Amino acid sequence: MDEILEILEKDGRTPVEDIAKMLKKKPQKIKEAIKKYEKEGAILKYKAVINKELIRDANSEVRALIEVNIIPQKDVGFDKIAERLYSFAEVSSCYLVSGTYDLLLIIEGKDLRTVSRFVAEKLAPMENIRGTVTHFLLKKYKEDGIILKHKEENKRIAISY
């Protein structure tokens, strides 16, 4: 991968001037390369990695990994089914994977019931869906290469009688 992309992947806020210094290139060349990557779709967006454990509140979403076993469609394979699945608002990511299951979905919902309803009412009844396995994410320790710090647990003193 290009060095500019590697730097931006680690920190999308790295100033062009800093990238130019690191790579011993002129800032204008770096700007042009970044614009080209954005135009070609190599750079899709810039995002912040947020430690939701530290800002968890009543509106926090539930996330689940769903393994999906499918019957590929003739002449189009997995692509058409994946396209149908990733078009659902609840699906934040969709991957073709090797192993026992074919697709891995990352689902977000306001609560367990929302995710369960998505699986029961939208996903499982779909034609070509052979089976699903749902894993609810309970705690994140690391995301996108960043170790997440957690709130201090309420350490209560054990009382015995």
Note the CATH number of domain 62-139: 3.30.70.920
pLDDT in tens, 101-135: 999 999 999 999 999 999 999 999 998 999 999 99
Q: What is the pTM of this model?
A: 0.76
Beta strands in the chain (DSSP E): 62-70, 91-96, 103-109, 129-136, 142-143, 146-147
Task: Give start-end residues of each CATH 3.30.70.920 domain in the chain.
Answer: 62-139
- Using DSSP's 3-state secondary structure scheme, residue 101 falls into coil
- Give the pLDDT score at 155: 62
Q: List the one residue out of 149, 140, 147, 144 whose CA is nearest residue 46.
A: 144
pLDDT in tens, 51-89: 777 776 656 789 999 999 999 888 878 999 999 999 999
- Give the pLDDT score at 57: 65
